Structure 1
């Protein structure tokens, strides 16, 4: 591959923003991030589709769906690395803690210093103080604890397929700006799916951030996390119902009631997950089985159409297979607690199973979205010809009903905790029904 020539000095590459402008650093960072996001662009390819990995080209992009426009090789040109380093240095002044907070250092505790309710299996050190204030929780996310990677891996992007909230939020905004949202109801299931992915990632990040305020708040935070996961599962069902259903299932009973059953599934799985926290200390194995069962129920129901289409040979099959592979890996990491179980204390800050769980989950979600978008584009004429056009009730109204029902379940489990008189956490702290 021939090296690309250096850009002309007198031609502004990222818009006419003066270098001394206060927003110049922000433009530098946004330009670099937007370039890095397009990693599926052909490196040095010429013409549409040349040099792209199989299954990532424009051949299965729906009309109006944005494709890669900014090649990553721009950053790899002569001088590109220096520009990226300069933008990173300038970006440090854009997002940073206030000066009076930068010197604040919160203590990190060992598991023996904490009540049982705050401990994690095979994690020995790096805990945040229990009964932290809201500001303490926020500040702790900027210091190295055993939760820091969990917080930021569900919030910030660090590569095209190694982050969650900002990456998927960026894709949602681009899709919303390019698609005819009001005039084309066929795009609604994809947008609903992407929106609920963003909601789940943000809720999970907040749950990990504020889980040390008190034993009660810890349980409520994770109740909300479970509810957001159920809503994400409902979003998957909405998009699968409209784009992924096997040809022989179109207009069948399961096709017509798939979203309705998914709403009931989300309520059931949220209830099971919330209940599992009430028995976690007394019966940890039962708690783990119940919480894992909630995950498996959602997964098996949502991916039923994919298993049925396993031998169809469609263009989206590879993306769906990668999604299924990472989903199985996610479940394994959640239940096995590896590698920290093999060497307690060695993986407290980096590499423990919950961090790997987050990475595996986002990889699976990324491939899931790619598969859904491929089916959306390639099956449009067939699905619309069979009268399977999305409607407001089963794309927008259904998630709203699921949201209200899940909030009601969370409120029912949270009420006994919030009504209980405040008390200091003890080693036997657990929800009281």
Structure 2
């Protein structure tokens, strides 16, 4: 891995790498200067560029999810009720991923190295959100028939491993090695985030699409789950296809391109996911407390903390070679 990172660093020293690194497919106009200062990046929040709405479509929802998190903590006295801990962890992950994304889009034009490091953190935040989703699914969403099954007991350990795989593949996809084309990097990233999503949702897919008869947990919440699933697949479709800008390059550079729509659909999907989890939590609480795996600090906040530490280690392992090379080149100037 270190050899590949060193190869990437040597490529970054060539100005010709700016275009493939900074330019997006079918987006022609509206780019900021690839050597912007931090001040320039912040000021660009109030200027119309092709990143402006990317930033705001995640920065504003951060405050909405933060409000929800604070409300749950204050209204439900979570320190006395362990059943609410998975919801708190999930809401915290909902605050982290849009904030990391908005920061990545804001400061990604400071340099080639800064761009890659910013998105390393973005990918780690998405992995953490994936784990937060697994935590609430394990606690509240599993169909009655699967509760306390062998798969239920293995579900969280596998989800933790998936976050490591997700972050590692996504960060590696940013290396831009010569034998890989842009589309291959996109495919890697789609796989990196589609795989943990599909695994996390196995119990939900079974519950709403396949399960029949007793033990299927067919309640009013399923409609909210349908909304979430629809928006999640639309989110993946937009990210993978680069529509609509691919159909008319240059026409959606500032407003309406796929990444903006991807952000909006992702946040709406998270909103319905949160509402569904809250409703399942309320409706199923007595039965789950009696029959499901007990919720503890270790299988809620504990696995979340472990995920944060491991993902930070991955991000640092990819970022340090870039930072060290930068100091070698510019330390004497």
Same fold (TM over 0.5): yes
1:144: which partner in 2?
Answer: 48
State yes or no: 1:286 paired with 2:190.
Answer: no
Alpha-carbon distance between aligned partners in 2 of 1:143 and 1:264, rounded to the nearest angstrom: 41
Alpha-carbon distance between aligned partners in 2 of 1:421 and 1:208, rounded to the nearest angstrom: 21
TM-score (norm 1): 0.68
Residue 132 of structure 1 and its aligned partner are, at CA, apart by 1.1
2:229: which partner in 1?
Answer: 324
Q: Map 1:69-108; keep pairs closer than 5 Å.
A: none
State yes or no: 1:365 paired with 2:262.
Answer: no
Alpha-carbon distance between aligned partners in 2 of 1:280 and 1:226, rounded to the nearest angstrom: 19
Residue 280 of structure 1 and its aligned partner are, at CA, apart by 6.5
Alpha-carbon distance between aligned partners in 1 of 2:294 and 2:84, rounded to the nearest angstrom: 10
State yes or no: 1:265 paired with 2:162.
Answer: yes
1:193: which partner in 2?
Answer: 90
Unaligned runs of at least 5 residues, structure 1 = 1-111, 157-163, 425-433
Alpha-carbon distance between aligned partners in 2 of 1:316 and 1:337, rounded to the nearest angstrom: 32
1:382: which partner in 2?
Answer: 287
1:53: which partner in 2?
Answer: none
Contact 2:18 2:112 in 1 (8 A): no
- The alignment partner of 1:126 has SS state of coil
State yes or no: 1:165 paired with 2:62.
Answer: yes
Residue 322 of structure 1 and its aligned partner are, at CA, apart by 0.8
1:234: which partner in 2?
Answer: 131
TM-score (norm 2): 0.88
Residue 329 of structure 1 and its aligned partner are, at CA, apart by 0.4
**RMSD over aligned Cα, in angstroms?**
1.7
State yes or no: 1:301 paired with 2:199.
Answer: yes
Residue 274 of structure 1 and its aligned partner are, at CA, apart by 0.5
2:105: which partner in 1?
Answer: 208
State yes or no: 1:401 paired with 2:298.
Answer: no
Residue 141 of structure 1 and its aligned partner are, at CA, apart by 1.0
- The alignment partner of 2:27 has SS state of coil
1:128: which partner in 2?
Answer: 32
Contact 2:96 2:125 in 1 (8 A): yes
1:221: which partner in 2?
Answer: 118
Q: Across the two proteins, how many residue pairs are aligned to each other?
A: 306
State yes or no: 1:182 paired with 2:79.
Answer: yes
After superposition, give the CA deviation of every residue in 1:246-295 in whole Å (9 maximum; x if it has no partner): 21222222222322211110000100001111136742122111111111
Q: Which has the higher contact order (CA 8 A, sep 6+)?
A: 2
Residue 387 of structure 1 and its aligned partner are, at CA, apart by 4.8
Q: Give the structure with the higher percent helix.
A: 2
Change (3 A) 1:382 1:134: same
Which of these two proteins has the greater Rg computed from alpha carbons?
A: 1
Q: Which range is displaced more, 397-406 or 113-122?
A: 113-122
Change (3 A) 1:249 1:119: same
Residue 113 of structure 1 and its aligned partner are, at CA, apart by 12
- The alignment partner of 2:183 has SS state of helix
Contact 2:86 2:139 in 1 (8 A): yes
Alpha-carbon distance between aligned partners in 2 of 1:318 and 1:120, rounded to the nearest angstrom: 36
1:417: which partner in 2?
Answer: 322
Alpha-carbon distance between aligned partners in 1 of 2:122 and 2:185, rounded to the nearest angstrom: 16
1:355: which partner in 2?
Answer: 260
Equivalent residue in structure 1 for 2:172, among 275, 294, 302: 275
Alpha-carbon distance between aligned partners in 2 of 1:356 and 1:182, rounded to the nearest angstrom: 37
Alpha-carbon distance between aligned partners in 1 of 2:39 and 2:134, rounded to the nearest angstrom: 37
Q: Structure 1 segments of 4 or more deviating over 4 A?
A: none
Contact 2:59 2:102 in 1 (8 A): yes
Alpha-carbon distance between aligned partners in 1 of 2:43 and 2:176, rounded to the nearest angstrom: 31
Residue 152 of structure 1 and its aligned partner are, at CA, apart by 0.7
2:146: which partner in 1?
Answer: 249
Alpha-carbon distance between aligned partners in 2 of 1:220 and 1:257, rounded to the nearest angstrom: 33
Residue 352 of structure 1 and its aligned partner are, at CA, apart by 0.3
After superposition, give the CA deviation of every residue in 1:166-225 in whole Å (9 maximum; x if it has no partner): 111111111111002111100110111001110111111100000001000100000000
After superposition, give the CA deviation of every residue in 1:404-430 in whole Å (9 maximum; x if it has no partner): 000111111112211214679xxxxxx
